[in-house]
Homo-oligomer: A and B are copies of this chain.
Amino acid sequence: MYFKIGEAARRTGLSIYTIRYYDKEKLLSFLKRDKNGQRIFDEDGLLYLGMICCLKDTGMPIKDIRHFIEWSMAGETTIDKRECLLREHKQKILEKIVKMNGQLSQVENKLKMYARQKKSINND
């Protein structure tokens, strides 16, 4: 099954502009074109795009994602590099999750304070 940019946008939640921008930034070098020059997304292409979204959403900058994609395109000899990059990134995600849990508590504490404050106002 093949898709064009509009469908790829619908499926990933990215805008068409953003997808073209990613292509310009060499994140989508795996894409083929049809005879009119339109981008063709196959199943694999959508999976790659999904991975790109995952990396981006977890805070990886575009130039690092570009390396990851370049290495992926270069074949098996680059598996070690890719693994290393993903391992480090995984660590960062873990740290983010820990940090975010702390921040969640901070917000919850503030909400508890408000609850107490409202109670004491009512008891005036």
Contacts and interface: CB of A to CB of B under 8 A. Distances in A.
Q: How large is the interface on A (under 10, 10 to 19, 20 to 34, 35 or more residues)?
A: 20 to 34
Interface in A44-63: 50-51, 54-55, 57-58
Contacts of A90: 104, 107-108, 111
A44 to B, nearest CB: 13
Interface stretch (A2-10, A17-25, A32-40, A80-88): A80-88
B104 A86 contact: no
Number of copies: 2
A58 B103 contact: yes
Q: Which of A51, A87, A100 has the most CB of B within 10 A?
A: A100
B51 A82 contact: no
A69 B123 CA distance: 26
Interface in A81-116: 82-83, 86-87, 89-90, 93-94, 96-97, 99-101, 103-104, 106-108, 110-111, 114
12 contacts: A50-B106, A51-B110, A54-B103, A55-B107, A76-B117, A79-B114, A83-B111, A86-B110, A87-B111, A89-B107, A90-B107, A97-B97
